[in-house]
Structure 1
Amino acid sequence: MTEVTTEAVKALLETETSLRVRPRYEGSNINTWIGFKHVNYMVEEAVLEHFRASGLGSRLLFEEHGLGVDLVDLDTRILHAFHQDDEARALVAPRTKGDADVLGFDVTLYVERDGKELKAVTSKVKVSLRIDGYLDRVDVPEPLARFAVAGLGGGAQAGPHHGAEVTEAANTALSAGRGTTGADDPVLAQLIGGDNAFGWKWRIPYPYCHFNERLAMSGYLRQVEEVVDLFLADRGISIKTLLDDRKWIPVVPRSHIQFLGEALMEEDLYTVFTVEEVFKDFTYTARTDFYVVRDGRLVQTATGRITHGYAVFQNRSDWSLVSFDDHVIRAFKGEAAAG
């Protein structure tokens, strides 16, 4: 078994790393712009490379020491858009506080525009080392013991629905496609209440998980992207509708996801998207809460926020932000169908 040394942990906690990284082709859905999910994937890759550079790669930690590297808090601001074929310079700076039991990092992505390097993305990331309970356990290396946890998200505060008794409905069979929405589901009806919210129940699939059973941060990012798509369609302003009618594209200047617990493969995940504020007719903020049901009670597994706006594109490479009109604002506020 490879030994985890104090020097390697010191490098992980104290040494900055830099790498070049490109967004993946999959993240370019409208013209050549890269969506927020894949920007966050670049942040994740930068953090994983930092672990490798210190001699503590995620594969080594899991295979040799039974520790899964889990991003458990990801707060990202996008200052300049990425395009296909852009190359970013990613800088990872450790920011772990004195006696904290999670690893903290500041990640900055830089991109070149017109011969100048611009700060394009800033992100604050927290990482836990999850002790593997699915296979045979091994001894946790002493230099990493303070960061090793038996479960994720134990230090965060869950919302008011956590622990509430619920009655589930059997309506997420494989034939149900993208799952279930609306007040016909009793759990969603309870979670939404009278809020300006949209709910979605969906079975967690294998490709969204890692380390054998649990939903990964990348899976939650995909879930946020999906629930926004479903919410906009439900309010009558689907992405395709505004794209065809106005050449508007969605933009996300900020996203934040925080683990509160663990969600497992093939559990039904209840995602609740609640519009909180429309700001100066240019952006709106929404909270996204995630739940599963265990032993008849709600368990909140994550929470987050997203800031969303629109841009209009003039050609295949240029766009500018636009303000919302009354038609769109009313849809966000749930005041009337935006038909």
Structure 2
Amino acid sequence: MSRRTATMTLTAVLLVALVALAWLVPVPYVAMSPGPIENTLGNVDGKPIIKIDGRRTYPTTGQLDLTTVAVTSPDQKLDVAGVIAGWVDPSVAVVPRDYIYPPDQTPAQVQQQNAEQMETSQQSAIAAAMREVGVKVPSAVQVRAVVEKSPAVGRLKAADILVAVDGTKTTSAQQVVDLVGKHKPGDQIRLSVRRAGKPLDVTITTGRSPDDPNRAFVGVQPIDGFDFPFPVTVNLGQDIGGPSAGTMFALAIVDKLTTDNLTGGKHIAGTGTIEADGKVGPIGGIQQKIAGAKRGGASTFLVPADNCAAAAGAPTDGIRLVRVATLHDAVTALEALQKNPNAQVTSCAR
């Protein structure tokens, strides 16, 4: 073999090796694809996703599906092959990793944030749904969680309503933090609490804050929440996080609390964050969620108004896109479609 031929052969082998290596090297992208769907009117593991106690409920039919997006996990990265596969699949979006996972957050922090957003979303959905059907829901300061091995353990519980601190009526979570902050470690704090509708007075001796030994520490995480007149429990039963299921939770609660059958027995899907006043907010991955709903058999998809432009670019043959800016918009549109499948409702036009 001549030197020239040997050189060319070696070069070709090295080139192939480099291409193969590049093909396998992780790149800073993640893939978003259609994720699991759940019928919020249905059951998970034998339990209703939406459980309402202390209030009359009504039978429901049809489906109100929440939709999700499956994303490459934070501890994994796509390789070139995965990126190319995502680019050629219309139901998959390949986006920069930092778009989904901020570089200053660990995977555990991302998971915790998603869990907290889901919890907050559920509380807002319950408040919005109750207010939609005419139930008064006053704001209140709630205990989100009790810190392990803290002075509050055994004295306070998650979902307790914090009515007053040392006789001062509480109006916000920050006010509770400020009132506790006026004390020193070893001081006693008097808390007026409402638990399951019953008043309760609790006295707690403060400890030392793990972050500052000179600061008083009780061990509760207060949040600006609601004093619900009757309990509503959301049991999703699987690892779904984030706030985007809020609108579908709220619709399921409305459907159970009213005599009208919102779905008319049809298969409805949707997405959207929800505020306590009923405002529906935008979410990520709208095209993937529409694709997932379509695969799941939904005939109508409720789209947050601010997502309409992106939603109109999704393959929508066989599924109707309905634009909603508020929970009331969604209820009104479903009521109209229940009475007349050809009713004119606001849509996301291409």
Larger Rg: 2
Report the TM-score, using the length of structure 1 for normalisation: 0.24
Instruction: Give the helix-richer structure, 1 or 2.
Output: 2
Q: Per residue, is there more strand in 1 or in 2?
A: 1
TM-score normalised according to structure 2 size: 0.24
